[in-house]
């Protein structure tokens, strides 16, 4: 079958990538989806078992830093578009070891940009109908005080090695647009939650620890604020921006849903006490305050007006409903957690705390 697009999705075995691959395969049978992933600790093909036999799906195990492998994929699958998610994504790991973040998030991204530029044979006047969509984070904007929201025009001010590497990759994506005419789009999203998230991140870590009656580590006083968005809604926003967003533009994606970490964890404790048949307040007793993360950003909050007004996108779920679904998924998929956290990862992730 001749496909109308051959879309390379990088990082498709990870948390957000797997939701995006699923959405694209189900919604666009006339697109071929090529999922390229190195399968680091954060990537797991089990995230895609429900769609892996789709006729329009292909998986390639490769590192985005490997230029030859990337060239081969562009040629073999005649890649028309890229949606780039592959990244090292864990802030605490970036504090322990920034170089891996530079390699994958910066060097790997430039590698992909070069491959797309060369393969699409672009010039400054013609985009050729191709799109290179970079999936990025609101953390590139730095940290907010009590007031205000991140807008697309907010100056970049990254604070952690992770956000610095993502800011750098955003700059390279823009530079390839301005210098070579590469048809790019960027989306900068707030914190995602949902099924299939590696349990080093705040929500699945807390759910898992509540189930096993382990301490619930809270950085500092727990008053850091994050804006939470259901991962399926992020995937739908990427779909909308990829198809209808303007070339060369960035779009903020967020849920207008701010929570302090401590309120969020207390709320999780409350609903899980009910679901697990525990006495009210039992799980909250597990809350343990720990030394704050170095350079911990205080508040992230997104102004998504551009995406709402230009592309008519809104989140589909209220947070309480999304969290309820999410908790149920982790309770029903205990073996998934055991599997992804087995072996070498277990010791590491059990000592890590994270609010992204
Ligand atoms: N999780 C969030 O809340 C959030 C919010 C905004 C933006 N983002 C961005 O969205 C993207 C996906 O985030 P996520 O939370 O799904 O991350 P994740 O850590 O769950 O998944 C990352 C995926 O990338 C793959 N990968 C890592 N290095 C690779 C390499 N060198 N070559 C090929 N594949 C590689 C991993 O195997 C994994 O499947 C990232 O770019 C992240 O910066 C995440």
**What is the structure's pLDDT at 124?**
45
DSSP 107: I
Per-residue pLDDT, averaged over 1-26, amounts to 96
C-alpha 199 – ligand 1 centre gap (Å): 14
Question: 297 CB contacts (<8 Å, ≥6 apart)?
Answer: 139, 142, 143, 159, 160, 163, 224
The model's pLDDT over 256-297, given as tens digits with 9 standing for 90+, comes to 899 999 999 999 999 999 999 999 999 999 999 999 888 888
User: Which residues have CB under 8 Å from 242's CB, separation 6+?
Assistant: 81, 83, 131, 133, 185
Q: Ligand 1, residues 86, 186, 199, 261: which to mutate, most atoms within 8 A of Cβ?
A: 86
Average the pLDDT over 43-47 and give the result.
94
In angstroms, the CA 155 to CA 157 distance is 6
Distance from residue 85's CA to the centre of ligand 1 (Å): 5
- With contact defined as beta carbons under 8 Å apart, do 86 and 34 qualify? no
Give the pLDDT of residue 123: 47
Q: For residue range 192-217, what is the model confidence (pLDDT) as tens digits?
A: 999 999 998 999 999 999 999 999 99
Dihedral pair phi/psi, residue 95, rounded to 5° = -70, -35
Confidence of residue 351 (pLDDT cuts 50, 70, 90): low
Q: 113 in helix, strand or coil?
A: helix
- For ligand 1, whether the C-beta of 101 sits within 6 Å is no
Q: How far apart are CA 231 and CA 194, in angstroms?
A: 6
The token pair at 106 is 């910066």
Say whether domain 198-226+258-296+318-350 belongs to CATH 3.20.20.70: no
Q: What is the pLDDT of residue 127?
A: 55
In the chain, CATH 3.90.25.10 sits at 198-226+258-296+318-350
| Residue 255 in contact with ligand 1 by CB distance below 6 A | no
pLDDT in tens, 146-194: 999 999 999 999 999 999 999 999 999 999 999 999 999 999 999 999 9
Q: Which superfamily is assigned to 5-192+228-253 in CATH?
A: NAD(P)-binding Rossmann-like Domain (3.40.50.720)
Mean pLDDT of 49-73: 97
Ligand 1 contact via 166 beta carbon (within 6 Å): yes
Q: Is the dihedral angle over the CA atoms 131, 122, 248, 140 positive or is it negative?
A: positive
3-state secondary structure of 37: strand
| Residues that are catalytic | 138-139, 162
- Atom 41 in ligand 1: which residue has the minimum CA distance? 85
Cβ of 104 closer than 6 Å to ligand 1, yes or no, is yes
pLDDT, tens only, 332-343: 999 998 888 876
Ligand 1 centroid from CA 63, angstroms = 13
Arithmetic mean of pLDDT over the chain: 93
pLDDT value, residue 16: 98
| Span from the CA of 282 to the centroid of ligand 1 (angstroms) | 34
| Rounded Cα distance, 350 and 337, in Å | 12
Could you tell me if the CB of 44 is within 6 A of ligand 1? no
Residues of the chain with CATH 3.40.50.720: 5-192+228-253
Task: Give CA–CA dist 87/11, Å, rounded.
Answer: 7
Q: Is the model's pLDDT at 348 over the cut of 60? A: no
Q: Which residue has better confidence, 99 or 340?
A: 99
Distance, CA 138 to ligand 1 centroid (Å)? Answer: 14
The answer to whether the beta carbons of residues 273 and 280 sit under 8 Å apart is: yes
What's the gap between Cα 50 and its chain centre?
Answer: 20
CA atoms of 182 and 63, how far apart (whole Å): 22
CB-ligand 1 contact for 158 (6 Å cutoff): no
């Amino acid at each position: 079958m001749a496909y109308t697009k051959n879309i390379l999705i990088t990082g498709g075995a990870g948390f957000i990538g797997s939701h995006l691959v699923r959405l694209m395969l189900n919604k666009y049978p006339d697109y071929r989806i090529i999922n390229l992933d190195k399968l680091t600790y954060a990537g797991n093909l089990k995230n895609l078992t429900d769609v892996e036999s789709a006729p329009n799906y292909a998986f390639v195990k490769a590192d985005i830093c490997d230029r030859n492998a990337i060239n081969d994929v562009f040629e073999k699958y005649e890649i028309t578009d890229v949606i780039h998610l592959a990244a090292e994504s864990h802030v605490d790991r970036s504090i322990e070891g920034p170089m891996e973040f530079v390699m994958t998030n910066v060097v790997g991204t430039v590698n992909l940009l070069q491959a797309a530029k060369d393969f699409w044979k672009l010039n400054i006047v013609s985009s050729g109908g191709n799109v290179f969509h970079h999936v990025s984070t609101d953390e590139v904007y730095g940290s907010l005080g009590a007031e205000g929201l991140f807008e697309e025009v907010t100056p970049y001010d990254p604070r952690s090695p992770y956000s610095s590497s993502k800011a750098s990759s955003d700059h390279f994506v823009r530079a390839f647009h301005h210098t070579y005419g590469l048809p790019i789009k960027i989306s900068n999203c707030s914190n995602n939650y949902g099924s299939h998230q590696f349990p080093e991140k705040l929500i699945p870590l807390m759910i898992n620890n509540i189930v096993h009656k382990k301490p619930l580590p809270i950085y500092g006083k727990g008053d850091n604020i994050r804006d939470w968005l259901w991962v399926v809604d992020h995937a739908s926003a990427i779909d909308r921006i990829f198809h209808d967003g303007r070339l060369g533009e960035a779009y903020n994606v967020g849920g207008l849903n701010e929570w302090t970490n401590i309120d969020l964890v207390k709320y999780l404790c409350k609903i899980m006490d009910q679901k697990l048949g525990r006495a009210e307040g039992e799980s909250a007793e597990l809350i343990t305050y720990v030394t704050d993360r170095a350079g911990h950003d205080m508040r992230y909050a997104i102004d998504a007006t551009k995406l709402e007004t230009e592309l008519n996108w809104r989140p589909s779920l209220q947070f309480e409903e999304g969290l309820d679904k999410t908790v149920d998924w982790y309770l029903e998929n205990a073996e998934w957690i055991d599997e992804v956290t087995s072996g070498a990862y277990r010791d590491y992730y059990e000592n890590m705390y994270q609010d992204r």
